[in-house]
Amino acid sequence: MTTSIATIDEYINQFDGEKKEYLIKVRQLIAGLVPPDADETISYQMPTFRYKGNIIHFAMNKNHLGLYPGPAAIEHFITELKNFKTTKGAIQIPLDQRIPTQIITDIVNFNIDTLKDKQGPNWYQSRGNWQEAEELMQEIIQQTSLKKEFKWGSYIYTHKGKNVIGWGGLKISSPSGFIMVYSEPMGINISLVPPKEKRKHYDNGALKTLRIRVPKK
């Protein structure tokens, strides 16, 4: 199976026969339930429907379809799910059984109702000079031999199969540190500076960075 999947179509097309048909039917069922502005994406390497948050993930396994609607939905429908194997966050649907359309419908509607009033951050209002920053990063990356891959629902740039860098919008107050990228004659230097509260764990509290040099093309 392909290790880097960017769309639900690509995910489904990895399979043949009954498994592929099963996935197509599950996707069509969920797509017919979610709001028109819901997103179809790949997250955690699984087909995912999002609407102000994750509605549901699903994934094909050897003998069952895994549904991942979150712990709250599973707890809410625990009685209806008594004939299926469940964990805190997952439901296993045996492939030799018909798709439980009513249960899936109820779970998806439950999560949509839960998410509909969720207020997410206003990215467009707070994006600042994001477009300029994105263009600058792309200009730098194009000078390198990094390979662009889709992982965990976003793009990651890799070198010889190893993850090197990825980026996205963060709150200004984010404690996750920051990344410095700059060009030198021998290559592109990428430095990860740890968050302030974690620097005390380094020798003498000195500022340490993880540095990676990527050869230019």
> Is residue 2 one of the residues assigned to a domain?
no
Q: Which residue, among 181, 217, 210, 171, has the nearest Cα to 193 in the 3D structure?
A: 210
Q: Which residue, among 133, 148, 147, has the nearest Cα to 181 in the 3D structure?
A: 133
On whether both 106 and 130 belong to a single domain, the answer is: no
Pairwise pLDDT comparison (18 vs 189), residue with the higher score: 18
What is the domain count for the chain?
2
> Is residue 3 one of the residues assigned to a domain?
no
Average pLDDT, the chain: 78
Q: Which residue, among 129, 33, 23, 124, has the nearest Cα to 67 in the 3D structure?
A: 23
State the pTM of this model.
0.59
> Is residue 1 one of the residues assigned to a domain?
no
Pairwise pLDDT comparison (5 vs 76), residue with the higher score: 76
Domain boundary among 115, 132, 154: 115
Between 36-45, 52-61, 88-97, 154-163, the lowest mean confidence (pLDDT) is in: 154-163
Residue identified by tokens 């592929």 is 20
Q: What are phi and psi of 195, to 5 degrees?
A: -60, 155
On whether both 91 and 134 belong to a single domain, the answer is: no
Domain boundary among 115, 147, 167: 115
pLDDT at 185: 55
CA atoms in the 13 A half-sphere facing the CB of 158: 12
What is the per-residue pLDDT across 132-188, written as a single tens digit (0 to 9) for each? 777 777 787 778 888 877 665 566 788 777 777 776 655 544 444 555 555 555 555
What is the per-residue pLDDT across 82-102, written as a single tens digit (0 to 9) for each? 999 999 999 999 999 999 999
Query: In this model, does residue 18 exceed pLDDT 70?
Result: yes
Q: Which residue, among 170, 76, 175, has the nearest Cα to 127 in the 3D structure?
A: 170
Residue 19 structural domain: 8-115
Burial 73-82 (b: 16+ CB within 10 A, else e): bbebbeeebe
CATH number, domain of 72, equals 3.90.1150.200
Q: Which residue, among 92, 114, 116, has the nearest Cα to 103 in the 3D structure?
A: 92
On whether both 31 and 96 belong to a single domain, the answer is: yes
84, 96 Cβ separation under 8 angstroms:
no
